Structure 1
Amino acid sequence: MRLLFNILWFIFGGWISGTLWLLAGVILAITVVGLPWTPAAFRLAGFSYWPFGKVIVERDTGAVSVLLNILWLLLAGWWLALHHLALAAALAVTIIGIPFAWQHVKLAMLSLIPVGKGVAEV
């Protein structure tokens, strides 16, 4: 079932989201200032391609992660999370969209504060 949901997710928009996160990671890597957020963008790309069967885990909650997350939250995280929450609300209206809405909620949590988080298989 997980494979079917991942395939449907990928076909109906996961490839767009994942590719945009990959592009964002490359752009962040090119700029010296964005380099600390590059691994988080690549993690989000992988999670955006195939979110079913994965959970978000805490990896590092040090002072540097907190500072990077505060900057990310102020500059980009809030509107990225808001975007995913709006998509989740639209999908949750239908019974069939509820599993996909839950994945958007997980993406919203991860895109809000991505540094120090990891993605693990269930």
Structure 2
Amino acid sequence: MSVFSLVLNILWLALGGAVAALGWFVAALFLMITIIGLPWARAAFDNGVYTLWPFGAKPINREFLYGEEIGTGPLGFLGNIIWFVLAGWWLALGHVVAAFFLAITIIGLPFAWAHLKLAGFALWPIGRTLAHSEFRRRAY
């Protein structure tokens, strides 16, 4: 991770990222407690991790790392549809609105970009995981 990414992550945490990530972790805990929400608990936890440290990370398809599994197949697609309908679209909308207001100032541009990345991940998180920005898929 570059020094620039580290500085941006520290500023992000100090200016509200830690509180937002805590919200995701509480939501993940709530989803784990309820039997019905258990399939979406990992998605909420991954969103929390990404919200905690958004610079220097990127979401990738879990299939690239682990092969096909339950979250990357048809059940993952169905889980994403349910997530999108019940939570994903308005969570992404919140990130887009925050990005709009941050993009008004030059200083807020990197944080606006982070919110846009978080919006994409919050929209369709199941079957995805986080990797370093330098991660490249190897051809085998």
For Structure 1 versus Structure 2, the TM-score category normalised by the shorter chain is over 0.9
TM-score normalised per structure 2: 0.85
Given the alignment of the two structures, is residue 67 of structure 1 paired with residue 70 of structure 2, yes or no? no
Give the deviation of 1:10 after TM superposition. 0.3
Identify, as 1 or 2, the structure richer in helix: 1
Aligned length: 122
- The reply to whether residue 2 of structure 1 matches residue 5 of structure 2 is yes
- The Cα of 1:96 is off from its aligned counterpart by 1.1
Overall identity of the aligned pairs, in %: 48
Matches of 1:28 and 1:43 in 2, distance apart? 13
TM-score, length-scaled by structure 1? 0.97
Partner residue, 2:108: 97
Write the distance in 2 (CA, Å) between the matches of 1:58 and 1:105.
18
Q: Which has the larger radius of gyration?
A: 2
- 1:112 maps to a residue whose letter is L
Query: Which residue does 2:42 correspond to in 1?
Result: 39
RMSD: 0.8
CA distance, structure 2, for counterparts of residue 29 and residue 83 of structure 1? 24
- CA separation in 1, counterparts of 2:47 and 2:59? 10
Q: For 1:34 and 1:42, locate their aligned partners in 2 and report how far apart those are by CA, in whole Å.
A: 12
Runs of 4+ in 1 over 4 A off after TM superposition: none
